[in-house]
Amino acid sequence: MPIRTLVWGENVHEQKNKVVADNYPDGMHNQIAKLLATDSNISVKTTTLQAPEHGCTEAALAETDVLVWWGHAAHGEVKDEVVERVAKHVWQGMGLIVLHSGHFSKIFKRLMGSPCALNWREAGERERLWVINRSHPILAGVGDRIELGHEEMYGEPFLVPEPMETLLVSWFEGGEVFRSGLTWQRGAGRIFYFRPGHETYPTYHDPVVHTVLRNAVHWARNPAPRWRDVAEAPNVPVDKAPEPITAKGASLHRPGEEGYR
């Protein structure tokens, strides 16, 4: 069965800024969807900030294997309850790919537990992404580096938890560096952050970027059934303990009672 992928686009600058609209006439989300759909093992839907519940209803997420998130100008407009719902699905096993300015999205900050801050400069400068592990599935077919002629600069320090894997590190013309491809695990869900993708440059028209994103969808998909009770804290009654025991001392809870949250 193809990997059911949902591309979430903020869809704000495409409507307001002529450069962005010329660059991505159908919207960034549709360009990302198009590049993913060239892989017959990926089936793609899109949604945007403007859709009811931002298109991230319980039903939509329940049939999503991997969510791809691009947002920038309107992070603050994403509703907190939707963020919690997306986080829950990641913990249960949904893959998440966060792109570029999504470093400051509510959902990424929620899952990292850290500021996710960085330095930045919008000067259309040259970026070269060095591949740390060329045999990693996300980097299959990429070679030893990715060259982008024009990109926004993101500079360290990038305030994220030490990753599971450091896959890409960027060199910028203006003198900065950035850890541009990083992975984490949260519950059953795999998370990949990929730095490039500023809306005024043609990054999502680059064929190597296409390869990375398609690879990332494959990597982020967890074929296990959703881990529905991943956030529950069930009581194990004394008579259900794996080893026979007798309760000793005082208790706050009656048998089978729920814990505090």
Identify residues 91-130 at the interface with a copy of itself (CB under 8 A): 91, 93, 101, 104, 110-115, 117-125, 128, 130
Please say which residue, 11 or 170, places its beta carbon nearer to a copy of itself. Answer: 170
The yes or no reply on residue 54 touching a copy of itself (CB under 8 A) is no
Cα–Cα distance list, 186 to 44, 111, 135 (Å): 24, 7, 23
CB of 50 to a copy of itself, least distance (A): 17
Task: Tell me how far apart the alpha carbons of residues 220 and 240 are, in angstroms, rounded to a whole number.
Answer: 36
Please say which residue, 44 or 75, places its beta carbon nearer to a copy of itself. Answer: 75
Query: What is the radius of gyration, based on Cα positions, of the chain?
Result: 21
Which residues is 190 bridged to in the sheet? 185
Identify residues 6-45 at the interface with a copy of itself (CB under 8 A): 13, 17, 19-20
247: buried, middle or exposed (CB in 10 Å: 19+, 13-18, 0-12)? exposed
Q: Which of 50, 200, 208, 210 binds a copy of itself (CB under 8 A)?
A: 200
Beta-carbon count within 10 A of 250 CB: 5
Q: Between the CA atoms of 230, 159, 194 and 65, what dihedral angle is there, to the nearest 10 degrees?
A: 10
DSSP, collapsed to helix, strand or coil, labels residue 136 as coil
Please say which residue, 6 or 111, places its beta carbon nearer to a copy of itself. Answer: 111
**Options 33-41, 42-50, 61-69, 228-236: segment touching a copy of itself (CB under 8 A):** 228-236
CB of 25 to a copy of itself, least distance (A): 15
The yes or no reply on residue 1 touching a copy of itself (CB under 8 A) is no
CB of 132 to a copy of itself, least distance (A): 5
Task: Tell me how far apart the alpha carbons of residues 203 and 198 are, in angstroms, rounded to a whole number.
Answer: 7
The yes or no reply on residue 62 touching a copy of itself (CB under 8 A) is no
φ/ψ (deg, to 5) at 78: -75, 125
Farthest-apart Cα atoms in the chain, separation: 72
Identify residues 158-187 at the interface with a copy of itself (CB under 8 A): 158-159, 161-166, 169-177, 179, 184-187
Please say which residue, 38 or 174, places its beta carbon nearer to a copy of itself. Answer: 174
CB 233 within 8 A of CB 259: yes
CB of 66 to a copy of itself, least distance (A): 14
CB of 139 to a copy of itself, least distance (A): 9
CB of 33 to a copy of itself, least distance (A): 23
Closest CA to 6 of 70, 102, 83: 70
Please say which residue, 47 or 222, places its beta carbon nearer to a copy of itself. Answer: 222
Sole residue written with tokens 């980097």 = 139
The yes or no reply on residue 233 touching a copy of itself (CB under 8 A) is yes
The yes or no reply on residue 248 touching a copy of itself (CB under 8 A) is yes
Task: Tell me how far apart the alpha carbons of residues 9 and 12 are, in angstroms, rounded to a whole number.
Answer: 9
